[in-house]
Amino acid sequence: MAYLTDRKRAHGLGASHSGTKAHWRMSLSSVALVLLVPLFVFTFGAILGSSYEEVVIYYQRPLPAVIALLTFLVGFWHFRAGAKIMIEDYSRGLSRKALLAGLTCLSYGLAAIGAFAVIRLAL
C-alpha cells in the first residue's frame, strides 16, 4: 500500500464512484441542447399553425426531421440523467428503486414515442 500514489488511493471513493463521468455526460448533453433547442424552435416555428398535410411535407425533408429527432432523444436522455441524480440524492430504499424504474420507463417511453412520431411523419 505504501507504493500507491494519492490519486490511486482516492480513485473510486466518491459517493457514486462515477461522479466525473456523470458530470461530463450532463455537460455534453447540455451543450448539445443549447444548439438543438434553438434549431428546433426555428424549424418547428416555421411550420406552426399549418395544416396536417403541410406539416407532413415539411417533416419529410431531412433537416427538420433530424433536428426534431435529435432534440427529443438528447432532451429525454438529459432529463433522465438529471432526474436520476436528484432521485439518488433525496430518496432511499424501495422508494428509490421504484422511482428509478419509473423514471427510466417514463423517459425512454416518451423518447420512443417522440422518435416514432417524427419517423412516421418523415416516412
Q: Which three cell numbers stand for residue 70?
A: 435529435
Judge whether residue 16 has pLDDT over 60: no
For residue 5, tell me if it sits in a domain. no
Q: What is the pLDDT of residue 18?
A: 63
pTM, to two decimals: 0.79
Containing structural domain, residue 90: 19-122
CB 58 within 8 A of CB 50: yes
CATH number at residue 28: 1.20.1300
For residue 63, tell me if it sits in a domain. yes
Better-predicted residue by pLDDT, 63 or 7: 63
Count of domains in the chain?
Answer: 1
Assign 24 a pLDDT band (cuts: 50, 70, 90).
Answer: confident
Alpha helices in 48-92 (DSSP H): 52-59, 62-90
For residue 50, tell me if it sits in a domain. yes
Q: What is the pLDDT of residue 4?
A: 72
For residue 60, tell me if it sits in a domain. yes
CB 68 within 8 A of CB 116: no
Judge whether residue 14 has pLDDT over 60: no
Share of the chain above pLDDT 70, in %: 87
The one-letter amino acid code at 72 reads: F
For residue 36, tell me if it sits in a domain. yes
For residue 14, tell me if it sits in a domain. no
Phi-psi region of 4 (alpha: psi -120 to 50; beta: other; left: phi over 0): beta
Range scoring the smallest mean pLDDT among 17-26, 40-49, 111-120 = 17-26
* Cβ atoms within 10 Å of 67's Cβ, excluding its own: 21
